[in-house]
Every structure is written in structure tokens, then in C-alpha cells.
Amino acid sequence: MTLFSPAQADAVRWVAANRERLSREHLHLWRLAEPSWREYRSAAWFVERLAREGFEVEAGTAGMPTAFAARFSTGPGPVLATIAEYDAVPGTSQEAVAERAPRQGTHAHTAGHTDPHSALGLGALAGVLATKAAMQTHGLKGTLVLMGEPAEKMCGSKPVHASHGLYDDFSAAISWHPTSFLSLANSCLWDTHCATYWSRIYTFECLEPESWSSSIARTGVNSPHSISRAPGAIDAVCLMYTAAKYLKENMLPHQGAWSLNEAILQAGQATADNLPPGLAVIQYALRAPTIEMQERVWAVLDRNADHVAAMAHCTVKKAWVTRTRPGLANHAMAEVTFRNFERCGPPEYSEAAVSFANDLRRACGAGSVENPFPPEILRLCPPRDAEAALRAHLPPWQKNYTSDDYTDWTWHCPTARLYVGRAQLRIDTPGRVWPDWTRNAMGGVPACIDPMWLKAAEVTAATFVELLEHPAEVERARAEFAERTGGGIGGSKWIAPLLGEKFPAPIHYRWPEYVETARGPEYTVPDPSKP
């Protein structure tokens, strides 16, 4: 293994030299914990920080208030991009302590960082800032792009950005993520990239309840309390929910690795009066390996919506939230990225991290151990080995697995998917399942979480510097991209953005969020512990 070039060494040293400040910044983002489409303070922090670093920043890209695009250029050269995410997950608030407890000032149903995207965003930022420092010191020519991507938990912003053409001039990209599978920890995806994720909202409205029946003509009583009432929008949502559950096993029989989930965003406008509920909204999200499988399920759901609307005397509107494409591999980008991972080495964890992990074990009724972390997060896994481990439990026909919206980037430039091991408790007893809050708590403990995103920053910066110093590596990746797409963007095997052109972002729905009221700051989901 060759050593770093002087420019790469400077980039990696920049990460180490700025570690303490970056760690404080990560904790700030971790505590903001804003959910999808409502990451106002998080996005504003990134925009201000990047502007101070000399980036040209466009806020509110593609009509999304919490999205941004930041660029820094030293002249003609490759355009290298990476992704900042920063959305949190409703219902997962957890303080950085060794007990199950929501963050101070919140309750259990507010949002919290799970992956955590606070670390993902800060790691991406640190990577581009380290690259920028090396570019300026060593006179490297090119452009860095950091895209602020909200609502990743709904695979929301990247398909929207793609539909607006914001990725079309990228030369190459890295998308890093805390490891999702231990067998893939500290590696790069090879052939089996993430699959598709489509989400659709059905809005039911009871707009003409008076036309439901003719009972008023029969009784002569003009009172809504004395005549038959239209079922209304709540009934429509209940019927929709139930019908999908009944039909679920028939939608894609005998084809695994798919999941359908739902969320009721609104129901009945909070009235229990004897009036037909006028409005109800339900969201479905489907993960599936192929576009064909997606199309089959949504045909059933759309048909269900039409029928239940008629039964409940409602109208129905159908609107996409997102439609991602399956991920496209690029071996050249995986190779150069993992080569630099080997130079950087895997994450290392201090005694403070081990101590907190053992505190978590004791909180769950287990004893302390010398090595509380899984061995997989402490070593590197070559991409081909990671591929073999992933394929071991997949059928041969399945080319993509799980979901993430970075996949839309893969259709606009050669993209590496980098996984870095994250601190979590080792399964040391067969059948043991550690509660999720233990992993979420580690996200707010610097000793546990910093090694992961700092390593991602090092690998990203070292890889970007290598691509700037050796443009032939970029051309090799782009040649593979052209071959896989049949000629690049618009090629014969290329898949265009599935949302069409200039898709309007679905920011107007009743997504969970923090709000300011006359009672002070609140989360839109009330605290059930309060009267």
C-alpha cells in the first residue's frame, strides 16, 4: 500500500487538527434533532458555516427551504460532490446517558438522531473542508460541492434535486453512511447497491356530505343529528389502511426483501361532533428491489384508494412524495475510495467509549466486558468480501437491497457508497437484542460517535485529493459510468429521474415539527404524560 501524497497527508492532518471544534459542532446538530422537511435550524447552521468558509451557497434549492448547494472552486478541474444529511426520526428522542430517557426538554415522541444524520452531515462537511485546505495549500484545481439534503428518512430531497438537474455537472461523488450491516462495516458497496423507495400520499376529503342520502326528505327533520351521516374521511383512511393490510400478502407473493409502511398524517380535524370528518391523509412508503415491483404494488394501492373513497363518500387525491431509482454500481470509485480507507485505517475507540458502552450493558442487565463493541467495526472489509457477505442471504435475481436516496446520485455521476463502522453493543449472547436507545444514546457521546464520522471525513478528503491529483482516476470512473448507462446521462441504459422534471417538493404536508406557540416551544405531537 502506497503512502499518502503530501496533499493527502495535509488533508488528513486538517481533520485531526480541527477535531475538538468539529466535535462540538456535531453535538450542536445532534441536539437540534429536527425531523424531515423541517430541519430549519440545522440547514441554516450549515449554510452560515459554509459561507464563512468561502463557499458559494444557494439556500432553499429546488423549492426546499431546508436544502442547500455549496460550492468552492479553485479553477477548471473535476467537480467532486458529497452529501450532508441532518434530519432526525420522530419518536426516538434519547439523551446521551446510560438509561432510557428523552433529551432534556423533550419527550419520548419527539425526534432524535438514529443513524445518526448529525454525524453523517458533520462528517461530510469536515471532509470537504479538509479537501479545501489541501487544495489551497497545494494549488489543486477543481470544484467541491456539498449538497444539503433534507428528509433522507423519507428518501425525499435527492430525487427532487435530480428532477431539477442539480447533479448533472458532477464528475464524481462519495456518499458515506454509518454502517447499516455489520458485515459491511468499514467498506464500500461493490455491485449490490440500495434499492428503490417510493412514497405516496392519499388525501381523502368529504366535500359534499349533504348528498350522501335522502333521509332528510323522508323525515322532514333538517338536523345533522337526526339524519344519516356520510361516513367521511376518517372512514376512508381506516378502510384504506385495512384494505392494504388484507391485500399485502398478495401484492408481491413469494418475492422477498420488500416492505410496506404507512403513516396517518391527518384524521378528521380533531372533531368528535356528529359531522362527517372532512379531511384525512395517509402516507404509504414501499421499499422494493425493482421498479417493476414498485409499479405492481402502487397499482393495487391506487385502486384501493379509488374504491374506499367512493364507499366513504369522499374524493381522493394521489401525490408522490418520492420515487427513487435503484443504485448503480461503479467499481472504479469503490476502488479508489477503499484504497484510501486502507491508508487511513479503521476507526479506533478509546477507554472512555468502552466505559460508556459497559454502562449501557449494565443498564440492560448485562455485565461489563473487555470488548463491548462488535469486532467488525474495528477492522476493514474489502468491497468484494463485503459483497459476498451481502449476497449470501439474497436470491440471485435480486440486484439491489434495502433503500436510500443516494441512489439517485448514481445515475448522474460515478458514485462510491462508503460505509464506516459505528459504535454499538456487541451481541455476545445468542438471541440477545439490545434496545435501540442504547445505540441512539451513543450518538451524543463524543468518545463513541466521533471516531466514525472523523474517519469518514479522512477517507472522503484523501479520496477527493487523489482524484484532483490524478484526473485519470476520474476519467476511469466516468468511462465505467458511461458503459453502465449506455452513454452517460441520457444514454440508452440510463434511467431518468422518476419524478419527472421540476418536481415540486412535498413540503406542505403536516409533517412532525417543533413549533413556537403561546405556550412556548412545543412538538406537534403532544406529550402524552401531560394532562
What contacts 492, CB < 8 A, 6 or more positions away? 486
Say if 490 falls within a structural domain. Answer: no
The range of the structural domain enclosing residue 251 comes to: 197-323
Report the distance separating Cα 86 and Cα 117, nearest Å.
5
Q: Quick one: pLDDT at residue 12?
A: 98
For residue 121, what pLDDT is reported? 98
Q: Are residues 211 and 117 in the same domain?
A: no
- Give yes or no: residues 342 and 310 share one domain: no
d(CA 159, CA 219): 55
Indicate whether 469 and 349 sit together in one domain: yes
Cell of 253: 407473493
Structural domain count of the chain: 2
The pLDDT assigned to 215 comes to: 52
Residues 209 and 336 in one domain: no
Neighbours of 23 (CB within 10 A): 17
91 assigned to some structural domain:
yes
Band (223; pLDDT cuts 50, 70, 90): low
Distance CA 359, CA 438 (A): 10
Alpha helices in 192-312 (DSSP H): 215-219, 233-251, 291-311
Identity of the residue numbered 167: Y
As a dihedral over the C-alpha atoms of residue 325, residue 326, residue 330, residue 331, rounded to 10 degrees, the angle is 170
Displacement of CA 280 from its chain's centroid (Å): 26
The reply to whether 232 and 359 lie within a common domain is: no
496 found inside a domain: no
Report pLDDT for 313: 95
Q: What is the pLDDT of residues 455-476, one digit of tens each?
A: 999 999 999 999 999 999 999 9
155 is a domain residue? yes
- If asked whether residues 185 and 207 sit together in one domain, one would say no
**Within 10 A of 477 (CB to CB), how many other CB atoms are there?**
26
Q: CATH number, domain at 204?
A: 3.30.70.360
Q: Please write the tens of the pLDDT for every residue from 41-71.
A: 999 999 999 999 999 999 999 999 999 999 9
The 3-state DSSP class for residue 287 equals: strand
- State how beta strands 143-148 and 79-84 pair: parallel
Residue 188 in grid coordinates: 464500500
The pLDDT, as a whole number, for residue 224 is 61
Domain end residue (candidates: 282, 308, 323): 323
Q: Using one digit for the tens of pLDDT, what is the confidence trace for 31-49? A: 999 999 999 999 999 999 9
Predicted confidence (pLDDT) per residue in 391-400, tens digit: 998 999 999 9
| Cβ neighbours around 519 below 10 Å, total | 7
> Residue 286 CA to chain centroid, in angstroms?
14
Residue 364 lies in a domain: yes
In a domain? residue 527: no
Q: Are residues 172 and 285 in the same domain?
A: no
Is residue 193 within 8 A of residue 406, CB to CB? The reply is no
Residue 81 host element (H or E)? strand 79-84
CA distance 5 to 137: 13
CATH number, residue 30: 3.40.630.10
Q: Which of 99-108, 216-225, 455-464, 475-484 has the lowest mean pLDDT?
A: 216-225
- Do 370 and 463 belong together in one domain? yes
Question: Number of C-alpha atoms within 13 angstroms, CB side, residue 27?
Answer: 14
Q: For residue 56, tell me if it sits in a domain.
A: yes
Name 42's Cβ contacts closer than 8 Å, sequence gap at least 6.
29, 32, 34, 66, 86, 87, 121
83: cell is 452529501
Strands 56-59 and 187-188: unpaired
Could you tell me the CA-to-CA distances from 94 to 90, 115, 364, 366 in Å, in that order? 11, 13, 15, 20
Mean pLDDT computed over 123-147: 98
pLDDT computed for residue 77 by the predictor: 97
Q: What is the pTM of this model?
A: 0.95
Report the SS3 class of residue 322.
Answer: strand
Q: pLDDT digits over 418-467, tens only?
A: 999 999 999 998 888 999 999 999 999 999 999 999 999 999 999 999 99
DSSP state of 511: -
Does the CA dihedral 440-442-445-448 come out positive or negative? negative
Burial of 397 (0-12, 13-18, 19+ CB in 10 A): exposed
What's the rounded Cα separation, in Å, for the pair 522 and 531? 15
* Nearest C-alpha neighbor of 70 from the set 94, 53, 89: 53
- Considering the chain, what is the average pLDDT of its residues? 94
pLDDT band at 218; cut points 50, 70, 90: low
Confidence grade of residue 252 (pLDDT, cut at 50, 70, 90): confident
Say yes or no: 241 and 284 in one domain.
Answer: yes
Q: Do 277 and 364 belong together in one domain?
A: no
Residues 6+ apart with CB under 8 A from 162: 408, 409, 411, 412, 497, 499
What is the pLDDT, as a whole number, of residue 254? 73
Number of other residues whose CB lies within 10 A of the CB of residue 278: 18
